[in-house]
Chains A and B, each alone.
Chain A
Amino acid sequence: MPDMENAPAPVTIAGVRDRRVAERQQAEPPVHRDVLFDVDGLTASYSGVPALRDVSLEIYKNHITAFIGPSGCGKSTFIRCFNRMNDLIPTALVEGTIRYHGLDLYGPEVDSVEVRKRIGMVFQKPNPFPKSIYDNVAFGPRVLGWKDGLDDRVEQALRQAALWDEVKNRLKASAYSLSGGQQQRLCIARCLAVQPDVLLMDEPASALDPISTTAIEDLMHGLKEAYTIVIVTHNMQQAARVADMTAFFSVEVDEESDRRTGILVEYDETPTIFTNPGDKRTEDYVTGRFG
């Protein structure tokens, strides 16, 4: 096809069947994927009340995986399980297993600080440190004790985050002098500076204008080559634009106690989720009939 270079995000769906069907038939998946995270029976609760129940899925290396779903479906809680951010909340409890390269992240020998060095996170609201642009990016390497070539690390991280040209002449300026979109790219650069394996993004563009959002999405496409990206988004178009795999979460309301618990409804390749979902609830959500 002569127009191949101009084609948007080449997500190949031809020949790919429903994953569960493939499993049932004991067939090899048609596309080779390396499993990076293997989540099994994960339940996360706050003060004994489950926010998310019995989630099992696999996250693939060098893929962008999106978690979508209505408010309160536990998607943010879920993404925070991957870098053990929930450990910081005293009442939070995570049960089940998340295996990362086969190692249980919640195993007794695993230190949460070590986990977070490998698995970076970008938050919903840009949260630059009250320091200079340079010091924001240099914070991670300094914490890890990487003193050599700090200038190069900072420059490389800012280039990867497509921010270098905008800030190279004012690295000593306060990070607060940047616009919201620039601040968020700074936060991404800050993560990249510690050379993580995985980038977790919790609604990274929800506080940004459309142009900044596009910039972040373009960035994600580029970063996919080197990183595994997991993104939570409430914006379905965004999930459709950036993600290879999409997981749809929903809220289950217990009739008796009126407790609301998040559950994983469906997990599949993004085009399947949006064009041919296997679950009625997913279909209702992606077609805008619910949520």
Chain B
Amino acid sequence: MSTPALVVGKRPRGDKVRGTLFYVLLLVSVSIGFVLLGTLVVDVIRKGVGYVDPVLFTEPTSTNPERAGAGPAILGTIYMMLLLLAVVVPLGVGTAIYLEEYANRERWYNRLLELNIQNLAAVPSIVYGILGLAFLVRGLGLGRVLLAGALILTLLVLPTVIVASREAIRAVPDSIRQGAYALGATQWQVVSRQVLPASIPGIATGSILALARAIGETAPLLLVGALTYVAVNPTLLGSFTALPVQIYQWVARPQEEFRLLAAAGIIVLLAILLTMNAFAIWLRNRYQKRW
């Protein structure tokens, strides 16, 4: 008896069970993360929404939870993010351009530089805080000021911005560089008029995501001297606090009302974060290039 060339039959039962099992496992892993995050968000909103009022945005913190707000903390965070953006984008993009367009990979110092940047991205933020304390606050004698906080957050997210910018620059096809060179453009003209404009969406997306990381950082700020009680609006070279630091301080308070206030602070922080991420996604989709 000869066997037919092709048998279309049922899959073995074992295969089907294994497939289903795997699918269920995947669902479980997805739902764990989703449920945890959902619970957290719902819990925070339920507790804190009553405290999201004008007082929260304008008043400084106080021993009386009814009159306590996060005005200086929100302003401190905004100032720091603006400063950070102003410093980290030129530094990060500059480094990325050097590494991608100018650096000769045969040279040992360029490879060392690259290795360093990759490792820096993995250094815990508290270590940056210690660096800030030793180098900025004490070494340079800046003191426990907003500028020191902004600079240390800059250092913290600089590797992220560099890596994102390098990827954006590398994604620009070589044929575009060649086309520009062939028209008699100098390297500077090729980079500034072709490569950089073409990679701006990627750079912007990476920078916003880096900013989103910096905005939630607490530990390094505590080390460089973000105070938990600041009654006046921050200045560049004055004492300061930031939203996550304020939340941290409120949570540590024994009274229940402060916990609710902390929840309100978290809502504000989450809203800022999600808005920034949404903007980054919009930017990415809007300017997605098909070469």
A: residues with CB less than 8 A from B are 83, 85, 88, 90, 113-114, 116-118, 120-121, 123, 125, 127-131, 139-140, 142-144, 176, 187, 190-191, 194
A176, B175: Cβ atoms closer than 8 Å: no
Which residue of B is nearest A84, CB measured? B181
* 15 A-B contacts (beta carbon < 8 Å): A83-B182, A114-B184, A116-B183, A123-B182, A125-B175, A127-B176, A128-B179, A129-B176, A129-B194, A130-B291, A139-B180, A139-B185, A140-B185, A176-B290, A191-B183
A116, B290: Cβ atoms closer than 8 Å: no
Please provide the chain B residues from 192 to 216 with a CB less than 8 Å away from any CB of chain A in the complex. 193-194, 197-198
For A194, what are the chain B residues with a Cβ–Cβ distance below 8 Å?
A: 183-184
A88, B176: Cβ atoms closer than 8 Å: no
Contacts known (A113-B185, A113-B186, A194-B184); A143 close to B179, Cβ less than 8 A: no
- B289 at interface (Cβ–Cβ under 8 A)? yes
Give the size of the chain B interface in residues (CB under 8 angstroms): 23
Contacts known (A90-B104, A176-B290); A127 close to B184, Cβ less than 8 A: no
Q: Contact check: which of A123, A128, A191 meets B178 at CB < 8 Å?
A: A123
- B31 at interface (Cβ–Cβ under 8 A)? no
Please provide the chain B residues from 253 to 291 with a CB less than 8 Å away from any CB of chain A in the complex. 289-291
- The 9 tightest CB contacts between A and B, nearest first, are A117-B184, A127-B175, A121-B182, A140-B183, A116-B184, A127-B179, A143-B185, A130-B198, A143-B189
Which residue of B is nearest A187, CB measured? B179
A127, B178: Cβ atoms closer than 8 Å: yes
Q: Contact check: which of B182, B193, B194 meets A85 at CB < 8 Å?
A: B182
For A118, what are the chain B residues with a Cβ–Cβ distance below 8 Å?
A: 184
A123, B179: Cβ atoms closer than 8 Å: yes
How far is it, in angstroms, between the C-alpha of A90 and the C-alpha of B184 when the chains are bound? Answer: 18
How far is it, in angstroms, between the C-alpha of A139 and the C-alpha of B184 when the chains are bound? Answer: 10
Which residue of B is nearest A191, CB measured? B183
How far is it, in angstroms, between the C-alpha of A129 and the C-alpha of B289 when the chains are bound? Answer: 11
For B175, what are the chain A residues with a Cβ–Cβ distance below 8 Å?
A: 123, 125, 127
Q: Contact check: which of A120, A125, A128 meets B183 at CB < 8 Å?
A: A120
B176, A143: Cβ atoms closer than 8 Å: no
Q: Contact check: which of A116, A143, A144 meets B193 at CB < 8 Å?
A: A143
Most chain B CB within 10 A, of A88, A117, A142, A191, is at A88
Which residue of B is nearest A136, CB measured? B179
For B290, what are the chain A residues with a Cβ–Cβ distance below 8 Å?
A: 176
Instruction: Give min CB distance, A120 to chain B, whole Å.
Output: 6
A130, B176: Cβ atoms closer than 8 Å: yes
A113, B291: Cβ atoms closer than 8 Å: no
Contacts known (A130-B198, A130-B289, A130-B291); A143 close to B178, Cβ less than 8 A: no
B179, A113: Cβ atoms closer than 8 Å: no
How far is it, in angstroms, between the C-alpha of A127 and the C-alpha of B179 when the chains are bound? Answer: 7
